């Protein structure tokens, strides 16, 4: 589970690895409040949030995907514009669930590689 270096250590350390793609592959996930903080800390960078999955946890810790989204780069879109649009989309998806209803949700985010974006 690699995270962009722009994400502060405090947020990186509380990321919950969620296995989504297959054995050994995991994406970082956060609570609603922490996921919004991750989006905010990436503002002003070229790191895009390529997509996300919302997971519901139960008392046993099991996680079930309840929503998935992707944000693809548009032809001729600059890295900066794509990163900004992707963060706006992620923020909108996260905020779509009222805070009062998000206690058992985790938001897994996938990030672009800064080298890809440049």
Q: Encode pLDDT of 28-45 as tens digits.
A: 999 999 999 999 999 999
Distances (CA, A) of 67 to 32, 93, 103, 113: 14, 9, 16, 23
Q: Does the domain spanning 9-113 belong to CATH 3.50.50.60? A: no
Q: Encode pLDDT of 82-110 as tens digits.
A: 999 999 999 999 999 888 888 889 999 99
pTM flag (> 0.85): yes
């Amino acid at each position: 589970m690699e995270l962009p270096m722009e994400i502060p250590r405090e947020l990186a350390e509380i990321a919950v690895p969620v296995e989504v793609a297959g054995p050994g592959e995991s994406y970082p996930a956060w609570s609603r409040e922490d996921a919004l903080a991750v989006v905010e800390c990436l503002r002003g960078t070229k790191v895009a949030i390529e997509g996300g999955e919302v997971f519901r946890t139960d008392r046993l810790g099991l996680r079930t995907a309840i929503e998935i989204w992707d944000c693809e780069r548009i032809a001729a879109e600059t890295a900066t514009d794509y990163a900004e649009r992707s963060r706006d989309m992620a923020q909108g998806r996260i905020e779509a669930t009222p805070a009062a209803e998000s206690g058992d949700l985790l938001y897994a985010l996938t990030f672009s590689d800064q080298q890809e974006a440049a």
